[in-house]
Structure 1
Amino acid sequence: MPISSALDARLEELGIEIPSVAKPVASYVPAVISGNLVFTSGQLPFVEGVLPETGKVGGGVSAASANDLARTCVLNGLAAAKSVIGSLDRITRVVKVVGFVASDPSFTGQPAVINGASDLLGEIFGEAGVHARSAVGIAVLPLDSPVEIEFVFEFA
């Protein structure tokens, strides 16, 4: 299959494949456009429709595993953005990342978990992947997911 864009080439170089957009698990859409921004719904780390791990970070889920799950959320967020803008080549900047970490009460490493997403966005987009961010610890996430992440992308 021929490479259709510079971003496709970068993804292939990184060994990354963008999945199909995840089906919503409630009453919402995966992403919406407002002006030149794409806002995604919270992305869980689904892999082929299944959460690979559930539970609390710092409890049954390690911070390292949660960091990997945050990377998976990026792929799902890009799939959601692509579903409304057609091509990821249209993304000109990652504006904001809001990461939620289902945390054991004693766990305080939320920023390191969400670094999984931030680092991957930097690997994919370079300078355009540098973004504002929040990393929030909470009691529970939908379907007992350890991580959920929202994205705001600027596009042309």
Structure 2
Amino acid sequence: MSHIEDNIVRAGYRLPPPAVPAGLYLPALRQGDMVYTAGQLPLKDGKLVEPGGKGKVNEINQLAATTAAGTALLNALAAIKAETGSLDAVERIVKLTVYVASESYFSGQHLVANGISSLLVEFFGEKGRHVRSAVGVAELPLDASVEIELIAACNPS
């Protein structure tokens, strides 16, 4: 197990197997020393996690959506590992994009993203600090509450 995976386990999480694409795309793509993930949903065993993985986010269910977003992060990290062979190959998490299916009056998308940012720093230390966008959207695939994308700089292959 890699050092980063040890950090994930110590934090109380488990890296899942990489998700099988639901369409004509790759879960992650390595181009040079960068790995780009496709949008990752809070899926576990092919289903949206409950609570918080489905539906629109508002002040009432924001915490549950933040927890569900952690599942989407683990899926993104599994996709990166599949491309690099080990999460220890990650030199830096460069960018995190978080899409939050939001009620029209909800403006706390950044709070949902903060939970993922905190996990990245917990897992990767300073290498987990990144730039970020948190975006409210009307709908996401499968009525998911959140979808994330990561860009990671990795050791040359």
TM-score range, shorter chain: over 0.9
- 2:54 is aligned with 1:54: yes
Aligned to 1:86: 85
Report 1:91-102 matches (<5 A): 91-102=90-101
Aligned to 1:45: 42
For residue 94 of structure 2, give the secondary structure of its aligned residue in structure 1.
strand
- The CA distance in 2 between the partners of 1:111 and 1:12, in whole Å, is 26
- The CA distance in 2 between the partners of 1:134 and 1:9, in whole Å, is 28
Mark the runs of 5 or more structure 2 residues left unpaired by the alignment.
Answer: none
Mark the runs of 5 or more structure 1 residues left unpaired by the alignment.
Answer: none
- Once the two structures are TM-superposed, the CA of residue 11 in structure 1 deviates from its matched residue by 2.2
- 2:46 is aligned with 1:34: no
- Once the two structures are TM-superposed, the CA of residue 8 in structure 1 deviates from its matched residue by 2.9
For residue 98 of structure 2, give the secondary structure of its aligned residue in structure 1.
strand
- The CA distance in 2 between the partners of 1:100 and 1:24, in whole Å, is 19
Which of 7, 12, 15 aligns to 2:4? It is 7
Indicate if the aligned counterparts of 1:73 and 1:117 stay in contact, CA closer than 8 A. no
Report the more deviating stretch, 93-102 or 46-55: 46-55
- Once the two structures are TM-superposed, the CA of residue 48 in structure 1 deviates from its matched residue by 1.4
Look up the equivalent residue of 2:98 and give its one-letter code: G
- The CA distance in 2 between the partners of 1:137 and 1:11, in whole Å, is 28
- 4+ long deviations beyond 3 Å: none
- The CA distance in 2 between the partners of 1:150 and 1:9, in whole Å, is 23
* 1:46-102 per-position Cα deviation (integer Å, ceiling 9, x unaligned): 01111023110018x710011111111110000000111111110111000011000
Aligned to 2:71: 72
Aligned to 1:151: 150
- The CA distance in 2 between the partners of 1:11 and 1:138, in whole Å, is 29
TM-score of the pair, normalised by structure 2? 0.92
Aligned to 1:18: 15
- The CA distance in 2 between the partners of 1:9 and 1:69, in whole Å, is 21
- The CA distance in 2 between the partners of 1:35 and 1:92, in whole Å, is 13
Report 1:105-144 matches (<5 A): 105-144=104-143
- The CA distance in 2 between the partners of 1:134 and 1:8, in whole Å, is 25
- Once the two structures are TM-superposed, the CA of residue 151 in structure 1 deviates from its matched residue by 0.2
After superposition, the CA RMSD in angstroms is 1.3
Indicate if the aligned counterparts of 1:58 and 1:104 stay in contact, CA closer than 8 A. yes
Indicate if the aligned counterparts of 2:2 and 2:87 stay in contact, CA closer than 8 A. no
- The CA distance in 2 between the partners of 1:21 and 1:28, in whole Å, is 14
